Amino acid sequence: MDYRDEYRRWMAQGSADVGAELAAIGNDEQEIRDRFEASLEFGTAGLRGVIGMGTNRMNYYTVSWATQGLADYLNERYGGGTVAVSYDSRNMSEEFAKTAAGVLAANGIEVYIYSELMPTPMLSFAVRELSAKAGIMITASHNPAKYNGYKVYGSDGCQMTIEDSAAVLARIKKIDVLNGAKHIHFAQACDDGLVHFIGRRVIEKYYDEVKKQQLNPGICVKYPVRIVYTPLNGTGNKPVRRILDDIGVKDITIVKEQELPDGDFTTCPFPNPELAEALELGLRQSEKVKPDLLLATDPDCDRVCVALRDDNEFRILTGNEIGILLFNYICTARNDNKLMPRNPIAVRSIVSTSLVDKIAADSGVEIVKTLTGFKFIGEQILMLEQQNEVERYIFGFEESCGYLAGSYVRDKDAVFASMMICEMTSYYKSKGKRMVDILNDLYKKYGYCMHRVLDRYFEGPEGGTVMKGILAGLRAEIPAEIDGLKVVSYADFLSQERKNLETGETQTINLPASDVLEYDLENGAIVMIRPSGTEPKMKTYLTVFENSAAESSELLDKLQKFAEDELMA
């Protein structure tokens, strides 16, 4: 069907509100095409898109459409079962969560939903605690305010696998987006006993499991830390404050403008804690309060960013630097307290810092590398659990500020990470050290491994095609050098092959096929390129290992210019 025909079909069949919104774009051919030429893609990350009417938008119809496909899958595979549901602070999140619950209930599937917004890790926990067959989290993580999303979890608490999401997609494709979903109103589903609210027992057990990950309980009481915290108008406000209070962190200043839920994110239109712009108010508050550290969690509270006091300034750490510090502390504390399991394992994504590999080698820990996406780290935890060896897992992280220790959830958890960062700060305070000192010591010991992530956006209906064209061009012609540095080896994770360009030797990459390219340079620098799985953008990851901070920074600047001018052009 032509996108114009689909537009007219929605105009004819939708409600008055739908008709009014679509009538307003009647003379905007580009907007109509963008909304109706394609449909939101359902994959391992579920759905994500701009809120609005159309097949390529997040709305009542597309949420119902996806949920009907999930319901058909669950009924065919399990004969029904239960589904846990949660939602964040974004516009329409609660409405979409209740819409999904109504579709599931209409298909005879029992639903357990939180009575208020809750973080993504608490959804992962509820799935396993309630023995649900699946979970739905309504969130678009750290995307701009105009976005929302729909993440689906399997019965193991991990985001849905490639195989299972493909099975759901096959069923979705059989459903008409406008009228193919069954539905009953949320209130009616509650009255009929098909929808239940998740009670305090599950919530309190989650907090208990987080606190079990402490390695030096009580240290925050003995060596108090002062915190400035911003939940960036998201779900972290109550859970993070609760867990910090429980472990003895009492001196907390909240960034008031970003304390309460606000789907418009008026003080930080791009609520990504990795960005300095999102931390501006927190940094301003920190200049007044002079805390030990600033904590910032994203809207669904699965990522956390940190700024540390470094002399008279506050230094924003990268996700890799937080990962380095947390992993080093976990190894140190476990070894010192004789809590290190036999044959311990830590997991990192392929785009995350390799400096932790050196720490792991010195600490007797095996590093396992996965594709980008915390679901792959969750799968590693599941495999260990199936082998009755889950205690071997001590830490997993992604450079995008996602961290987890313990197996109580299967997704990154900023509630845990906030707790552990404060514990780590108190621990080093007990030794008369600051975390910036520890980080600098690690750089001096292992090399100044520095990183930078570049984003290039490709909006509009042609965006995906342009990205594919750039990647096809890079595959067709492998550069012999990057900014004067010889490319020693080249890896294409889609063809699952790594090639040494000096010897011609090839190796198989033992990971699922993924649209990622990697260039290893002669001085140890690494350039990796991949399209984002959740946003219309291409990401380039730069890693350098030089003898000083100044040399690493200079090389990063050069590689960035080359990447922007040549690789991503």
Interval 540-567: pLDDT, tens: 999 998 888 899 999 999 999 888 887 7
CATH code of the domain in which 69 resides:
3.40.120.10
Q: Which domain holds residue 378?
A: 207-441
Is-contact 192 105, C-beta < 8 A? yes
Residues 437 and 452 in one domain: no
Active-site positions read 141
- Tell me, yes or no, whether 80 and 129 share the same domain: yes
pTM: 0.94
Q: At 381, give phi and psi (nearest 5°).
A: -65, -45
Domain count of the fold of the chain? 3
Say yes or no: 412 and 499 in one domain: no
Does 220 lie in the same domain as 152?
A: no
Task: Answer whether 308's CB lies under 8 Å from 436's CB.
Answer: yes
Measured distance CA(466)–CA(533) in Å, rounded? 15
Same domain, 437 and 506: no
Residues 358 and 237 reside in one and the same domain = yes
Of the residues 163, 198, 233, which one is the last residue of a structural domain? 198
Reading the block at residue 232, the tokens are: 């960036």
- Based on the domain organization, do 435 and 552 belong to the same domain? no
Does residue 206 contact residue 157 with C-beta atoms inside 8 Å?
no
391 falls within a domain: yes
- Tell me: do 171 and 258 sit in the same domain: no
Terminal alpha carbon distance of the chain: 34
Tens of pLDDT along the chain (569 residues)?
799 999 999 999 867 889 899 999 999 999 999 999 999 989 878 899 999 999 999 999 999 999 999 999 999 999 999 999 999 999 999 999 999 999 999 999 999 999 999 999 999 999 999 999 999 999 999 899 999 999 999 999 999 988 999 999 999 999 999 999 999 999 999 999 999 999 999 999 999 999 999 999 999 999 999 999 999 999 999 999 999 999 999 999 999 999 999 999 999 989 999 889 999 999 999 999 999 999 999 999 999 999 998 888 899 999 999 999 999 999 999 999 999 999 999 999 999 999 999 999 999 999 999 999 899 999 999 999 999 999 999 999 999 999 999 999 999 999 999 999 999 999 999 999 999 999 999 999 998 988 999 988 887 767 778 888 888 888 988 888 888 889 999 999 999 999 999 899 999 999 999 999 999 999 889 999 998 877 778 899 999 988 888 999 999 999 998 888 877 76
- Sign of the Cα torsion 123, 125, 131, 133 reads positive
Indicate whether 470 belongs to any domain.
yes
Q: What is the pLDDT of residues 372-391, one digit of tens each?
A: 989 999 999 999 999 999 99
Domain stop point among 441, 460, 491 = 441
The 10s digit of each residue's pLDDT in 16-31 is 889 899 999 999 999 9
